[in-house]
Chain A
Amino acid sequence: GQNIDQPTEMTATEGAIVQINCTYQTSGFNGLFWYQQHAGEAPTFLSYNVLDGLEEKGRFSSFLSRSKGYSYLLLKELQMKDSASYLCAVKNAGGYQKVTFGIGTKLQVIP
């Protein structure tokens, strides 16, 4: 089975940098997603990591360490609109590639 852990809430200041961590335990691994979900809206895709290392996409970066079962999402130059929940999701290997979502980290950006 899958077990995904991420903090439930975080607060950060506008213009700052914030790192949201995700640890996972899985019987098979075939990639990790980060999704952003604004209140009352659907999750939207942010990033996908399947190999170790850092993937940068504008103000957002995602890191993966498969040996440690660890990922983080880094948000730079925080804006008020970044206030949202951030969902870590793991795709397992074999059979069909089921994606299991973490509970999400609710980020509040304050002035």
Chain B
Amino acid sequence: DAGVIQSPRHEVTEMGQEVTLRCKPISGHNSLFWYRQTMMRGLELLIYFNNNVPIDDSGMPEDRFSAKMPNASFSTLKIQPSEPRDSAVYFCASSLEREYSETQYFGPGTRLLVL
């Protein structure tokens, strides 16, 4: 079975540009998470969807960040306008609610560099 799929794997952009990151969760999973990872702050939860509905977006840094999940197999994280401090690795993860541990499975990540 395919794991979590993310695209693009790498993105280099200039400050002020719009960035869109994409995620396809594991088929059958009903929970989806977007994380950001930096050396200084580690892995931080940005937003959590359950059954395509945003449940917790308290980790979204500011209005420049937005996320959508139009259906069970696709989600996007958008940054507009991007800033150099947004440079990080962005991971998408999915899990199955009510499965024993609700283990989160991570995609390969998108490495974003904003110049």
Footprint of B on A, CB under 8 Å?
31, 33, 41-45, 48, 50, 87, 91, 96-104
Known A42-B91, A87-B43; judge A99-B101 contact (CB<8 A). Answer: no
Does B18 count as interface, using CB distance less than 8 angstroms? Answer: no
Footprint of A on B, CB under 8 Å?
41-45, 48, 50, 55-56, 91, 100-109
Give chain A's interface secondary structure class: loop
Docked-complex contact A43 and B43, CB < 8 angstroms: yes
Docked-complex contact A48 and B109, CB < 8 angstroms: no
Known A96-B48, A96-B56, A98-B56; judge A45-B43 contact (CB<8 A). Answer: no
Docked-complex contact B104 and A99, CB < 8 angstroms: yes
Residue among B42, B44, B45, B55 with max Cβ neighbours from chain A (10 Å): B42
Docked-complex contact A43 and B103, CB < 8 angstroms: no
Contacts of B43 in A (CB 8 A): 43, 87, 101, 104
Known A87-B43, A101-B43; judge A44-B101 contact (CB<8 A). Answer: no
Docked-complex contact A31 and B45, CB < 8 angstroms: no
